[in-house]
Amino acid sequence: MDPDGKREKAEAASFSKGGAELFSRTPRLSVASAIRGANRNGSGSGRRSPRCTAVLLLAAITSGCTMSMTGRQPQDGEGAGAPLQGNRGAAGNDDEEGGDPHQRSEEAYRNKRFLTAFHLAPDRYASLKGIDTPSMTVGMAWRSKSGTKGTSRLEQWSAIASASASRGEDVFRLGVHVLSLESGTPREDEAIGSSEERLFRPTTRLDAGVEPSVGWYREGAVSPFVELGTTPLNGILSPTVRGHAGATGRLGDRIELSADASRESVMESILSYTGIIDPTTGRGFGRVVETDGKGSASYSITERWDAAAMASLGVRTGKDVADNVHTAAELSLSYDLKLPKFDSFTVGPEYSFERFDHNQSGFTLGNGGYYSPQSLHRIGIGVNFLSLEARDLVVRGSVSPGWQHSREGGVPVFPSSEGSGRTATARKDSPDFDSEVDAVYRLTDHWSLGGLAHVERSPQFNELFAGISLRFSFGARSSLMSTDIPAFPLH
């Protein structure tokens, strides 16, 4: 299991209206449901990120607002079947520049291009009024990852603020993420840095790291997106550029394709995220980033069956850290149960594979402090759901129990020391579990509350994540869509 996250949202989705409000990190692509909009990341990739006990928050919202999911009726032409169906392409003209506007708007709505649908037929989709209004969002998040005190354990608190605005089908976003990290106090004999001798205090925390970001997304039959930012500005090491760019598009009624390139932080430990001080020399090392390319495809076999695949290739680099090539792939099959009060509710088998050239899980000089198996195979059952669109409350979630087989190669404890001992090769066969629920609730015409809860259990570590956000829309909103669900810097 890759600590970076298991399911990855489609990259473009994190920039769409509402979802762009809180920038996501290495969004997870859920190949099992990519075409339906109930997606929760498969990170992209075989990542099981990622990225909670905030289920209590979402449970409270859900129990208090159950009537909101069904109490409001679709307006105007929305009740006429097609617009509230699953994420299928229209059988008609796919040309965005020609054809019947009503037909094109229905196709856009079905494929969750809500800005396009509203601009083509504002009277038909009155519930989308205000979806193109500027908005501002603030949020808080907490993340806890198990591990060894002072090294692989990580406690993270985040404050997030962003603003977004659209012009036509273009969406623009500015964001800032302020975070603090803590790993605890290491044992005196913990292997950290270049040798066992400690002349400096090991790095165990980061206070008020600042990550700015700016993004752009264009909604259309082909939807390009770009986001640029930096790693934390006041870490042990100087910041470096991060970001991602790509596009999603459709071929006819049944095929959806996505491709992107990214350069993102590896957020698994303080060493991999911002870097630490070598207790022997006082010099900083770490701050690992992965530069990769990824492609995915989903195919609608029938009205209920979908198949999807993803493949990625990248390299992880850092300051005084050995380069490490990372490959990953996923395959999935999903069946939509078409339950009455859901936009989609899919279930099906999943398979994922990933590997790294080297085991870089250590915290000595030359290592990156991140989980990097030489092989990891996982099979599981994925359940993904999305409640109905155009409601006061929209909920999305996923559950994925599975079984994994992994192998980690042995490495020298201190790579720079010839007399250093060596860790043993480790092989594991064991169950794992990943679940996530996120939601958005319309408090008033201008205010909405968002939340996310994530729980992950695996042989390598356990992880919890909880986030809450409050958004103000400058224009009135009569209902919310899945693209209004906020994204958080999960992994």
> CB under 8 Å to 222, separation ≥6 — which residues?
247, 248, 249
Of the listed ranges 44-58, 129-143, 324-338, 412-426, the least confidently predicted one is 44-58
Q: Is 110 helix (H, G, I), strand (E, B) or coil?
A: helix
Instruction: Convert the pLDDT of each residue in 451-466 to its tens digit.
Output: 999 999 999 999 999 9
Is residue 2 in a domain?
no
349, burial (CB in 10 Å: exposed 0-12, middle 13-18, buried 19+): middle
Is residue 6 in a domain?
no
Mean pLDDT value of segment 130-155: 97
Of the listed ranges 53-67, 147-161, 194-208, the least confidently predicted one is 53-67
pTM of the entire predicted model: 0.82
> CB under 8 Å to 67, separation ≥6 — which residues?
none
Is residue 5 in a domain?
no
Is residue 22 in a domain?
yes
pLDDT over 80 at 70, yes or no: no
Instruction: Convert the pLDDT of each residue in 174-231 to its tens digit.
Output: 999 999 999 999 999 899 998 878 899 999 999 999 999 999 999 999 999 999 999 9
Is residue 1 in a domain?
no
Alpha helices (runs of H) in 159-261, residue ranges in sequence order: none
Is residue 194 in a domain?
yes
Instruction: Convert the pLDDT of each residue in 33-56 to its tens digit.
Output: 433 343 333 333 334 443 333 333
Is residue 141 in a domain?
yes
Count of domains in the chain? 1
- Write out the residue range of the structural domain in which residue 161 sits: 11-484
Query: So what's the pLDDT on residue 200?
Result: 94
> CB under 8 Å to 89, separation ≥6 — which residues?
107, 110, 111, 250, 252, 253, 254, 300
Is residue 3 in a domain?
no
